[in-house]
Amino acid sequence: MTYRITKLITMKTVFIKLITPIVQISWISDALFAIPRILCGLVLTIDFGSSKFGMPWTPNDKNLSLFEVAEWFSKDIAEYGGVFALAPIFFAWMGAASEAIGGVFLALGLKTRIASFFILCTMLVAVFFQKWDQGVWGMLPAMGFLWVSIYNLILGSGRFGIDYLIIKKMKASTYFNTPIKEII
C-alpha cells in the first residue's frame, strides 16, 4: 500500500512539473514568447509535416491517407544508415508525426514540453544527417525549429497555451489539493 501511494505521488508530481509552464512577470513577455511558438508550430504542421505525413489538411496531390507517411521519406531516412537503416519506416513515422502532430501541439501550447522534445530530436537528425552538407542556409529552417523547441522545452507554453489553462484548473480543483492518502 505504501509503495502504491508513493508511486501515485511521484507520478502526480512528474505530471504536474511536466505541464506547468514558466510564466513571465508580465503578460507582454509571455505574448512575445508565444508568437514564435505559435508561428513555428503552424508552419511545422501545415508546411513541413503535412507534406510527408497524412493529416486532414495534407494537400490532395500528396495522396496520403490519415497518418500515412510518404514513401519517399522512409527511403530518405534509410539512406542515413546506422540505426535509421534498421527501421526506416518507424523513424520516418516518428519524424513526420513529430512535425505534423507536434506542430499542432506546439501551436496550441498543449503538452508543450513533450512535443518540443520530439521536435528537438527530429530537428537534430535533420540538421546533422540531412542538411549538414547544404551549408548554413540549408540548415536554417531546421535550426530555427530546433531553437524554438529548446526554449519551449525549458519554458513550456507560458501564459498563452492550453497547458496553462489545464494547470490553472487543476490547482483550483479540490481533488488536486486533496492529499493522496484521502483519495485512496
What are 40-57's pLDDT values in tens digits?
999 999 999 999 999 999
pTM of the model: 0.85
- The mean pLDDT of the chain is 88
Lowest mean pLDDT among 16-20, 32-36, 65-69, 155-159: 16-20
The predicted structure's pLDDT at residue 177: 58
The predicted structure's pLDDT at residue 181: 53
The predicted structure's pLDDT at residue 63: 87
The predicted structure's pLDDT at residue 19: 87
Mean pLDDT of 91-103: 95
- Residue 16: pLDDT band by 50, 70, 90 thresholds? confident
**What is the rounded distance in angstroms from the CA atom of residue 164 to the CA atom of residue 179?**
22
CB 139 within 8 A of CB 48: no
% of the chain beyond a pLDDT of 70: 89
Mean pLDDT of 16-24: 88
- The answer to whether residue 106 scores a pLDDT higher than 70 is yes
Q: Which residues pair with 53 in a beta bridge?
A: 69
- The answer to whether residue 6 scores a pLDDT higher than 80 is no
DSSP result, the chain: -HHHHHHHHHHHHHHHHHH-PPPPSSHHHHHHHHHHHHHHHHHIIIIIITTTB--TTS-GGG---TTPBPHHHHHHHHTT-THHHHSHHHHHHHHHHHHHHHHHHHHHTSSHHHHHHHHHHHHHHIIIIIIGGGHHHHHHHHHHHHHHHHHHHHHTTTTSSHHHHHHHHHHH-HHHHS-HHHH-
The predicted structure's pLDDT at residue 105: 97
Q: Which residues pair with 69 in a beta bridge?
A: 53
Domain boundaries, the chain: 26-157
- Taking the CA atoms of residue 19, residue 110, residue 117 and residue 180 in that order, the dihedral angle to the nearest 10 degrees is 30
Q: Which residues pair with 57 in a beta bridge?
A: none
Main-chain dihedrals φ then ψ at residue 55, nearest 5 degrees: -130, 165
- Residue 151: pLDDT band by 50, 70, 90 thresholds? very high
The predicted structure's pLDDT at residue 2: 57
Mean pLDDT of 84-113: 95
**Cα of 128 vs its chain's centroid, Å:** 19
Nearest 5°: CA angle at 77, between 137 and 128? Answer: 40
